[in-house]
Amino acid sequence: MQDAYVRAFQCLGQFAGRAKFSTWLTRIAVHEALARAHKAKRFEEWDDMNENMQGEIGAAPLKLNPESETASVEMNKILEQAIGSRPEQYRTVVMMRDVEEMTTGETAECLSLTEDYVKIRLHRAHGMLRKELYQSARISEANAFPFHAPRCDRIATNVFARLATLETPQRRVGI
């Protein structure tokens, strides 16, 4: 996020005003995140490895602590119950799209629906699930993602510190 803000400051002269400033800034942040993900992806694909290399690589089993394991089991139960309690037309679409990972087209074909209807049902089902999960967790949507002022302050402080070390961009007339 800090890099995105610094990059936006450096490229401020390129902001043409064809879109909202927040949209422009979000695009910069998304591009920054994608670039970082691309750089972090420095591993060879499994299918591209020869069989000898595949045999040499062994993944360590993931061990959760008892508290995390219990929370995971409970969350699975809650999610399973929430999906299971949806009306059949919504439950079926959620199962096919989210659990079975079928495409919208495949789901539409299996259910003899149009792709638009599949999208509508999935959107409505997700809304119902979100509402039920918030109720199960006894939180309101407004309080689900609280604003973390101290974190925001740290980010802003770091951005301003980095901006102070940069050369000042040449100011254009009228800016």
How would you label 101-132 residue by residue, b for 16+ Cβ within 10 Å and e otherwise?
ebebeebbeeeebeeebbbebbeebeebbeeb
Q: CATH fold of 67-143, please?
A: Arc Repressor Mutant, subunit A (1.10.10)
Sign of CA dihedral 103, 108, 109, 110: positive
Q: Which two tokens stand for residue 13?
A: 């002269």
Residue 143's pLDDT is: 62
* 118: its two tokens: 């599949």
Tens-digit pLDDT string for the chain (175 aa): 788 888 888 888 888 888 888 888 888 888 888 787 777 665 545 555 555 554 555 555 566 688 888 888 888 888 888 888 999 999 999 999 998 889 999 999 989 999 999 999 999 999 999 888 888 777 766 565 666 777 788 888 888 888 888 865 554 444 4
CA 173/CA 86 separation, integer angstroms? 59
Whole-prediction pTM value?
Answer: 0.47
The CB density around residue 35, as the number of other CB atoms within 10 Å, is: 11
Structural domain boundaries in the chain: 2-42, 67-143
